[in-house]
Amino acid sequence: MSDAFTTRVLNITTGSAERVADLTRDCEAFLREVARGRDGLLNLFVPHATAGIAIIETGAGSDDDLLAALHTILPADDRWQHRHGSPGHGRDHVLPAFVPPHATLPVVDGGLELGTWQSVCLVDTNRDNADRKVRLTFLAGS
């Protein structure tokens, strides 16, 4: 296999509460190993119907603000047609329409090209599934 394309799966445990999990350090560690100073693209993909990837500021309350906004837009109540799981779980299946299950980011000189306050985050509102996978894929430029 060519080293122009490298992929790896992260196993993330999000717990029994809604969570925004910062994956920035995991992404940077992966790129240190595989990008080796090259330019390219990092793609993240969550193969779950109830989680997504967001690029946001963390640690200053924005992660909690995102979860609060999602509660306003997607309340955890009985309005949802999709009704298996815990009460309100149907909203978790609508989440990926608002927080997509993927992101593609530029890699310059082997590092993520993020803004000063940007972080790469897994957004998981599904309290019924604490075990998540995130596929990281680096595609080197020519």
Token representation of residue 117:
């306050």
What is the tens place of the pLDDT at every residue in 29-66? 999 999 999 999 999 999 999 999 999 999 899 999 99
**Mind listing the pLDDT tens digit for each residue in 64-88?**
999 999 999 999 898 888 878 888 8
Domains of the chain: 5-140 (2.60.120.460)
| Contact present, 92 and 50 (Cβ < 8 Å) | yes
pTM assigned to the model: 0.93
- pLDDT of 2 > 80? The answer is no
Q: What pLDDT shows up at residue 34?
A: 97
Provide the pLDDT for residue 80.
87
Task: Show the tokens assigned to 115.
Answer: 């803004």
